Structure 1
Amino acid sequence: QKSFRPTEIPEDFWIPIPLDTNNITAFSPYLVPQDHLGSPAIFYSMSAFMFFLFVAGTAINVLTIACTIQYKKLRSHLNYILVNLAVANLLVSSMGSFTCFYCFAFRYMILGPLGCKIEGFTATVGGMVSLWSLAVIAFERWLVVCKPLGNFSFKPNHAIACCAMTWFFALIAAVPPLVGWSRYIPEGMQCSCGPDWYTTNNKFNNESFVMFLFCFCFAVPFSTIVFCYSQLLFMLKSAAKAQAESASTQKAEREVTRMVVVMVLGFLVCYLPYASFALWVVNHRGQPFDLRLATVPSCVSKASTVYNPVIYILLNKQFRSCLRKMLGMSEGDDEDSSTSQSVTEVSKVGPS
């Protein structure tokens, strides 16, 4: 297992150099395959994985958007944020995953510094919109189900404002590296790009940017999700306790509890590796680390374009029913009626 030390080269990138190597001229991630970081088999395996994410992520999110356009009953304000999530996932899969697939196939960032900045920016925007969308979904369900504001009604203009807010927050996180606060450079095995977590550079103030991202783009949305879903669970447990004799209420409580656990775990799987790795690097400057492990956070976050729709959209019975109809897989009105009846209690505690 190789260890590496970071060596900075002008402003467009840094180079991970083997500890027993002093020649840095032959390691540019924009010019030559990065075979010093791993065998070709690793790069080609990553390329195949990214191709899967590109195909699956693009397909499932395009189907989600097309299904919403085709079926009027899906165009409710409660589903706006799910479509917003699908658009963000589509941006990441079509730009981020495809670029990584292409570059891993060549074993270096063949698209050059400009392509690196474009990929880093678009993947960051899509990822941040997705992250904040998950927080908005939790907040929306808390408002609708727990009614902390009394008779407040969540209307379409509120949903649209929340969607716009996710893109505004995403730009706050994605634009600074383009204008001098941090920078977009090749990361991990040098075939994908992201903000500079790695180097200590006073000119770019990388450390302060990492802390900003951790606080604003991880801690705040994660706290929102935990608070909103915990309140939802408390309310459900109280309702289930008050109606202990009702089998449907008990079933609803179990189903929603399971759904909440899956949602929180999905969020952590998606964003905790990035947050943890960035904080580790910031607090262990100069220490060598395995670049293959540094690639994991980027891959896991891009995989969210597949498992986020499964959690938030395909597990939504209304979306799933319409999707089956659109694909000609509907099993008939009886099933729809039965399904609708079986989730009556669940629908009372969330926009499922």
Structure 2
Amino acid sequence: MNTTEEPCVGSPEFCNLTREEYVTMLNAYIYPQTYEWVLIGTHTAVFIIGLVGNALVCIAVYRNHTMRTVTNYFIVNLAVADFMVILFCLPPTVLWDVTETWFLGHALCKVLLYFQSVSVTVSVLTLTFISLDRWYAICFPLEFKSTTGRAKTAILIIWTISLLFNTPELVVLTTVKMVPLRFELEYLVQCMATWSSNSDLVWHIIKILFLYTIPLLLMTIAYHQIVKVLWRSDKIPGQAETKKLASAEQIQLRSRRKAAKMLVAVVVMFAVCYFPVHLLSVLRYTLDMEQNDVITLLALLSHVMCYANSAINPLIYNFMSGKYRREFRRAFCCTSKPIHETLTITTRILSRNKKQGSLQSDKDQREYACNPSVIRNSIRNTYLQ
């Protein structure tokens, strides 16, 4: 038989197997184990929640013109990056981790892993830009004017830097057959860099420094200063303290505090979710760990946490932002046009008593997002970003 003429590679115990028996053995080896099926189910839930949630974030800002603020432009950019990570990177990564095989070929090895790195870089830089923008706007309100035009320019810079920074991966990534097989089979193929192990270690250290440690340090300092400014007094920085505007200032201050809490929660989740994957990358090189069931499980857990971070941000917006919560409801319900909050917060406060008698009739005429009670809260949430 032709099968017996094939050179015997690998363990001698497999030399007498026919091609069909050899393929059956490999299929049994890469078939998911029980714990892997649990993690596959978890990845599936993250996939659905992440796609729907991040799409809703973009829809919310697109449909509600009052939400087109500087911070929300950055949040939409973050949602786009998270959407890309989940859509293009989660499925092949799960398949790769479970089967220990890259089945998608040389071209997709380069493209998918490159855009995964680009998307993660965009997410990190966006979070950093948000923290710096809020820091300037709140701590130095008279020296810096944040505008949507500047936000769009910053987003363009973020994507440019991300595309250029990860170019080395696009160059060096390729498919490599790490385990010799008796037959020409696409099993146990890996997508990995062609440069030396030392170069790969240096590259991972650079990524840990510039895409995790330094940004996290900057965000921590920025939000620490923001929290000090917003919670140390009952006055908004940069605004005059007058009795006429006292109520409006208090409402705006509460809104800024809520926005700050939401952004801090996003940063904390980023720090927690990306720590395991960076730690595992360092341990792989420093301890020279071999691939086994434990390492496969740790890799799956670390990857699902990264993808969970991309899926959890819309949930944070839903629980901590009234505007996002109302827009999410509106997207799922048959509703009329949204409330157009065209009056300034000062005008609303000063005219509240005058309009109190006609508020009920206005509410009947302008239903919003399956929840008429939001009109009572619209004044309070006008400036929530």
- The two structures have a TM-score, normalised by structure 2, of 0.67
Aligned letter for 2:67? L
Q: 1:341 to 1:184 in 2, by over 3 A?
A: farther
Q: Report if the CA contact (8 A) 1:50-1:100 is conserved.
A: no
What aligned pairs does 1:221-236 form with structure 2 within 5 A after superposition? 221-236=215-230
**Percent of residue pairs bearing the same amino acid type:** 20
Kindly report the root-mean-square deviation, in angstroms, between the aligned alpha carbons of the 2 structures. Answer: 4.1
> Partners in 1 of 2:12 and 2:139 — Cα distance?
61
**Alpha-carbon distance in structure 2 between the residues aligned to 1:159 and 1:308:** 20
Partner deviation per Cα, 1:68-91 (whole Å, 9 max, x = no partner): 222222333331111101111111
2:58 is the counterpart of 1:65:
yes
Distance 1:342 1:157, change over 3 A: closer
What are the residue-to-residue correspondences of 1:194-213 with 2, within 5 Å?
A: 202=196, 205-213=199-207
- Does residue 1:129 correspond to 2:141, yes or no? no
Asked if residue 337 in structure 1 is aligned to residue 330 in structure 2, the reply is: no
2:272 corresponds to: 269
Residue 285 (structure 2) pairs with residue 282 (structure 1): yes
SS in 2 for 1:89: helix
Q: Which moved more, 1:300-309 or 1:226-235?
A: 300-309
What are structure 2's unaligned runs of at least 5 residues?
Answer: 1-9, 18-23, 178-186, 242-246, 335-368
User: 2 CA distance for matches of 1:131 and 1:100?
Assistant: 20
CA separation of 1:32/1:130 partners in 2, compared to 1, >3 Å: closer, same or farther?
Answer: farther
Q: Over residues 155-183 of structure 1, what are the superposed CA-to-partner deviations in whole Å (9 max), with x where a residue is unaligned?
A: 12210122122212322342211223x77
The AA in structure 2 aligned to 1:336 is: V
> Do 1:120 and 1:192's aligned partners in 2 also have CA atoms closer than 8 Å?
no
**Structure 1 residue 298 corresponds to structure 2 residue 303:** yes
Q: Is the 8 A contact 1:80 1:160 kept in 2?
A: yes
Paired positions, count: 314
- Larger radius of gyration between Structure 1 and Structure 2: 2
- The one-letter code of the counterpart of 2:379 is Q
The aligned residue for residue 4 of structure 1 is none
Residues 178/72 of structure 1: CA separation in 2 closer, same or farther (3 Å cut): same
Q: What TM-score does the superposition give when structure 1 sets the normalisation length?
A: 0.73
Which of the numbers 143, 155, 169 marks the counterpart of 1:177?
Answer: 169
**Bigger mean CA offset, 166-175 vs 211-220:** 166-175
Partner Cα distance (1:184, 1:229) in 2 = 42
Cα shift at 1:107: 6.8
Note the residue ranges of structure 1 that are not aligned, 5 or more in a row. 1-16
Structure-2 separation of matches of 1:255 and 1:106? 44
Code of the residue aligned with 1:294 in structure 2: it is A
Give distance in 1, aligned partners of 2:302 and 2:91. 17
Does residue 116 of the first structure (1) align with residue 109 of the second (2)? yes
Query: What's 1:161 paired with?
Result: 153
CA distance in 2, matches of 1:178, 1:24: 37
Deviates further, 38-47 or 222-231: 38-47
- Offset of residue 257 of structure 1: 6.8
Of the three residues 82, 85, 92, the one matched with 2:85 is 92
Q: 1:134 to 1:313 in 2, by over 3 A?
A: farther
**Counterpart amino acid of residue 301 in structure 1:** C
Cα drift, residue 228 of structure 1: 1.1
Distance 1:153 1:22 in 2: 72
Q: Distance in 1 between matches of 2:43 and 2:380?
A: 38
Alignment of 1:31-50 (within 5 A): 39-50=32-43
* Distance in 1, Cα, partners of 2:190 & 2:376: 48
User: Displacement, 1:286?
Assistant: 5.5
Is the contact between residue 240 and residue 253 of structure 1 (CA under 8 Å) also seen in structure 2? no
Q: In the aligned structure 1, how far is the partner of 2:252 from the partner of 2:26?
A: 59
